Amino acid sequence: MAVGYSGLPELLPVAGIRLATAAAGIRYTGRDDLALIELAPGSTCAAVFTRNAFCAAPVQVAREHLGRAAPRYLLVNSGNANAGTGVRGLQDARRCCELLAAQAGCGPQAVLPFSTGVIGEHLPVERFQAAIPGLHAALDTDAWAAAARAIMTTDTVAKGVSRTLELDSGTVTVTGIAKGAGMIRPDMATMLAFVATDAALDQPVLSDCLARAVEGSFNRITVDGDTSTNDACVLAASGASGITPTGADADRFTALVGDLCRELAQLIVRDAEGATRFVTVDVAGGRDAQECLQVAYTVAHSPLVKTALFAGDPNWGRILAAVGRAGLEGLDVERVVIRLGDVCIVRDGGVAPDYREADGRRVMAGDEITIGIELGRGRAHERVWTCDLSHDYVTINAEYRT
């Protein structure tokens, strides 16, 4: 069960957006593994994708289609990543778009495909063909929760967030779902996220809003340091409310989308494979944001730090060593301060004189822990969210294909 997560909340319908799910048998039995999201005519859509050079066939096709037509449908499957599948993988992704387009009465380029699951296996297109007619017929405004479950792979919980925002000109709704638990270190994690609003936004504004949201959310999480071949995040605006946020309202809307994406991103870490602790690595005092992130990710990716977190062991030397090897040129260790929660563990180049092991153990016994690091060389400040590394993580990934 995800750390500190009580379950999927009520997900509000978004006017102009319909969804449906189906059990296509792509890899799983007895559960839905295919989801469809329909965008009303006139909707705008923005997306960001993985920076992995071996990006999956659906990523390549979705990028291509996004540049050529206004998307009407997002077709998402779980259980098979259609990555590392060469020319045939591209053909299969395009064929799935064609099958849906024929059913929906639109052009294939109006369909964006998304896949998540095992890498290196060919997509069973015939199962898409059998499922798509019923999938399209089942479209409904109130199927967000079903879609959140259908896109899961090793996730233990469905992940979704809804928000409404009162603007001067009326109320807008934003709802989002995400999946991801392992192979998580986004550069845009395996993660997919789909967010929709009934606000009316033109393409440049929507793209800027998404870029800002992703940078402060999905690009600030890591489970294991592995960037997936299939990462994607989509923001769609149906315009059905007729409300276009402007001025201060536009800033409030952008902030809301950022907060919603941050919550979805943190849910991925809370549900990380085998995780028992949710960890914030908070780095301040860097010369720039990149320095802070360099230190934060070095700590967050350290197997020694992550296993100590799992054990509840305040082995502060592992954190100190990670900060020291992060590669900051001219780091003055005398100015570095490291804290576990409210407990100072390192100061003036070594263990803090007033540090007590019992205090460290008290902090480490919690299921939510903050590692605070002050570099003492600037004013930049960044946060990264991660988790511990447990026996279960190894088991889940050792047995993933069996």
Strands (E), 30-94: 34-39, 44-49, 73-80
> Residue 115: which H helix or E strand, with range?
strand 111-118
One digit per residue, the tens of pLDDT, for the chain of length 402 reads 689 888 899 999 999 999 999 999 999 999 999 999 999 999 999 999 988 889 999 999 999 999 999 999 999 999 999 999 999 999 999 999 999 999 999 999 999 999 999 999 999 999 999 999 999 999 999 999 999 999 999 899 999 999 999 999 999 999 999 998 876 676 654 589 999 999 999 999 999 999 999 999 999 999 888 778 888 999 999 999 999 999 999 999 999 999 999 999 999 999 988 899 999 999 999 999 999 999 999 999 999 999 999 999 999 999 999 999 999 999 999 999 999 999 999 999 999 999 999 999 999 999 999 999 999 999 999 999 999 999 988 888 888 776
Topology of the domain covering 17-270? L-amino peptidase D-ALA esterase/amidase (3.60.70)
> Measuring CA to CA, which residue among 201, 195, 198, 196 is closest to residue 246?
201
User: Which phi and psi (to 5°) does residue 146 adopt?
Assistant: -65, -40
- Say if CB 54 and CB 226 are below 8 A apart: no
Q: How far apart are CA 55 and CA 61, in angstroms?
A: 10
Report the run of H or E that residue 338 belongs to, with start and end.
strand 337-340
Active centre residues (catalytic): 190
What is the secondary structure of 339-383 as a DSSP string? EETTEEEEETTEE-TT--HHHHHHHHTSSEEEEEEE-SS-SEEEE
The hierarchical CATH code for the domain 278-398 is 3.10.20.340
Instruction: For residue 127, give the nearest of 115, 109, 143 by alpha carbon.
Output: 115
C-alpha 18 chain-centroid distance:
22
142: nearest Cα among 266, 20, 270: 20
Instruction: Tell me if 17-270 shares its fold with 278-398.
Output: no
Structure tokens at 399: 């047995």
DSSP 8-state code for residue 33: -
Helices marked H in 279-325 = 289-301, 303-311, 316-324
Which among 266, 283, 259 is positioned nearest to 370, based on CA atoms? Answer: 283
DSSP-derived letter for residue 329 is T
Whether residue 356 contacts residue 246, with contact meaning beta carbons closer than 8 Å, is answered with no
Sequence spans of domains, the chain? 17-270, 278-398
Tokens (6 digits) for 122: 């060919």
Task: Characterize 1-25 residue by residue with b for buried, 16 or more Cβ atoms within 10 angstroms of its Cβ, and e for exposed.
Answer: ebbeeeebeebbbbbbbbbbbbbbb
Q: Report the distance separating Cα 37 and Cα 46, nearest Å.
A: 14
pTM over 0.85: yes
